[in-house]
Structure 1
Amino acid sequence: MSILKRVLTTCAAALAASTIAAHAETTIRLGHVLPETHSWHVAATGFAEEVAEKTDGRVTVEVFPSGQLGNEKEVIEGLQFGAVQAGVIGSGSFQFLEPKIGIIEMPYAWESREQAFTALDGDLGGALADLLDDKGVVVLAWWETGFRNITNNVRPIAKPEDLDGLKIRVTPDKVRLATFEMLGAEPAPLAFGELYSALQQGVFDAQENPLSIIYSSSFFEVQKYVSMTGHIWGAASLVVSKAVWDKISEEDQAVLREAAQSWAVKQREMTAEAEADLQAKLEEKGMSFNTVDKAAFIEAVAPIWESQAEVFGPELMKTLEAYR
């Protein structure tokens, strides 16, 4: 009877502890590198409010924009160990951690935003989320950065040869560097938070980003030409540290996933609505737009696909092609 009593007491204590843990308050610090005016921040703030309301305050999300918690690489490293609890991260930045994530941002991979959403909300996104889960990062939903275009201060870019010799800042991933080297430019990586001053000081001639980031980051103050290359469609992901995620109750995990996907839809809508009038706004700020020979660009970067096939593997490539 004495042994049975001790066992029952231990079980009761464990049950009580698990009940307390399930209802304990969790504070999640969520970082991203873009300014408060960007849709990432607007959606992340809405996500935070919804989570607080639907968990009755058991989970609180605090949003830190403009690189306050570090650049994207630093945030990702923090996520792995729980030092940073969550983030909205451009998918290309995960390549140092898992090179296969680069498949999203292969040059001219997507003909439309909708095509990419179908893939990321489906099997491709699921496969990539599994890869990041193994690295200690939980993907709650796929958000958007949009189609990237080239800006510079030297000349309009209409064909690949126009990039010859241009010093262009790119995100720090191998595919992006190789793409612009193949196009004849002189690419180099730089943290996003340092980009405006580098353009202002003439360290770089050019950069590439979606129109929403060009506008929200005031690059119109330090760049003249916008060439509508649309060379890459970029995803973002709302992610949580697995170390933190595993401490949240299943009930609250479901709330976070639902809110993340709900705000993914809203963030995508914000991006689409903004694109409709961003060109006019940037032209009002003095930027000059031009179209490009897209077929020539697609042909010029075709070898990148062959060179990366081994990195992604046949199974992931097959999954991608099913959506293309």
Structure 2
Amino acid sequence: MKVRLLMLLGATAVILGSALAAQAQTALKWAHVYETSEPFHTESVWAAEEIGKRTEGRYKVDVFPASQLGKEADLNQGLKLGTVDIIISGSSFAAREYAPIGVTYFPYTFRDPAHLIAYTRSDVFKRLAAGYEEASGNHITAVTYYGTRHTTSNRPIAKCADMQGLKMRVPDVPAYLAMPRACGANTTPIAFAEVYLALQNGTVEAQENPLTTIEAKKFFEVQKHIVLTGHIVDHLNTVVSKSLWSQLSDADKQIFTEVMQEAAERATKIIEEREKALVSTFKERGIDVAEVDKADFETTVMDKVALEDFGYKKEDWEAIRAVK
């Protein structure tokens, strides 16, 4: 009887302990629009598990990829509504809350990925991120290199004027439109999922995206030329909601920040390695991969497009350009 009683008491203690542990654990939702094969997802999963480990199980983070919790605009709205706690999203969406932070999308702002990463450690980034946080309440913990945007086309392009009259699909984001329109292209905002078919049937004859996206979406199958315009060195922000950030202790804020920055560094490295390999891969497939006169493109954009038209500040742009 004593043994059975002790066993019963022990089992009860285990059940109560588990219940208390579960009660103490905070469940969080981390969402993004990227596929499960992409490093933006795989490294988010790594970060979610790492946060759990480093907080001794006090937080359980579930990652929802591929727009499972909504499109990018929905996810940004979800930070306010409390439907998500953490997201990965571009600065074009952050700019809807605080326009100046979108200056990073202006063509030829960054020289290369290293310049982008240096910017994320600069005073101008801290100032713009603080402006976004004041406007939205949300906190940017990390920045990941997304890729350098290039152009694919069914006609050869060597200089800006060669794009005159080109039917080109561009995301419906003002700063993305700056370079193509300055060069005289006729831009069309086709939904991303429909771009391959639009290129195939001739609705448009060009588009722009990083090499990794050109590969993943197989745009090279329906385009003759990959033109290395390198007009935007793109990035994604890891953003924590105002509600969650305000509830975290200073120690937990440090853990979340460190883990998310490590994840961003891991994803950035993967993207950079993939991009380097893809130039050779495309050439081996018989695709024309061509360099362009970037100075010509940049000069044309600066002559025809004003930073202020987008709500950006020239002093911010100049400060970013000066980052070493």
TM-score (normalised: structure 2)? 0.84
Letter of the 1:117 counterpart = I
Say if 1:92 and 1:102, in contact at 8 Å, map to a contact too. Answer: yes
Deviation at 1:30, TM superposition (A): 2.1
Extract unaligned runs of 5+ from structure 2: 1-19
Q: Does 1:262 align with 2:262?
A: yes
Q: Helix, strand or coil for the counterpart of 1:246?
A: helix
Letter of the 1:267 counterpart = A
Q: What is the aligned partner in structure 2 of residue 3 from structure 1?
A: none
Q: Helix, strand or coil for the counterpart of 2:56?
A: coil
TM-score (normalised: structure 1)? 0.84
Determine the C-alpha separation between the residues in 2 that align with 1:108 and 1:69: 33
Distance 1:278 1:314, change over 3 A: closer
Q: What is the aligned partner in structure 1 of residue 158 from structure 2?
A: 158
Q: What is the aligned partner in structure 1 of residue 143 from structure 2?
A: 142
Q: Please show how residues 51-130 of structure 1 align to structure 2 within 5 Å.
A: 51-130=51-130
Determine the C-alpha separation between the residues in 2 that align with 1:76 and 1:194: 23
Q: Helix, strand or coil for the counterpart of 1:150?
A: strand
Letter of the 2:145 counterpart = E
Q: What is the aligned partner in structure 2 of residue 186 from structure 1?
A: 186
Structure with higher Rg: it is 2
Q: What is the aligned partner in structure 1 of residue 41 from structure 2?
A: 41
- What's the % identity of the aligned pairs? 33
Q: Please show how residues 263-302 of structure 1 align to structure 2 within 5 Å.
A: 263-285=263-285, 287-302=287-302
Say if 2:99 and 2:310, in contact at 8 Å, map to a contact too. Answer: no
Deviation at 1:197, TM superposition (A): 4.4
Determine the C-alpha separation between the residues in 2 that align with 1:197 and 1:65: 24
List per-residue Cα deviations over 1:152-200 (Å, max 9, x = no partner).
Answer: 2x21221112212222222332122233211111123344344444444
Distance 1:141 1:31, change over 3 A: same
Determine the C-alpha separation between the residues in 1 that align with 2:56 and 2:84: 23
Letter of the 1:233 counterpart = V
User: Considering only aligned residues, what root-mean-square deviation do their CA atoms show, in Å?
Assistant: 2.5
Say if 1:38 and 1:216, in contact at 8 Å, map to a contact too. Answer: no
Q: Helix, strand or coil for the counterpart of 2:33?
A: coil
Range 91-100 or range 226-235, more displaced: 91-100
Distance 1:27 1:220, change over 3 A: farther
Deviation at 1:102, TM superposition (A): 1.8
Determine the C-alpha separation between the residues in 1 that align with 2:196 and 2:78: 25
Distance 1:316 1:299, change over 3 A: closer
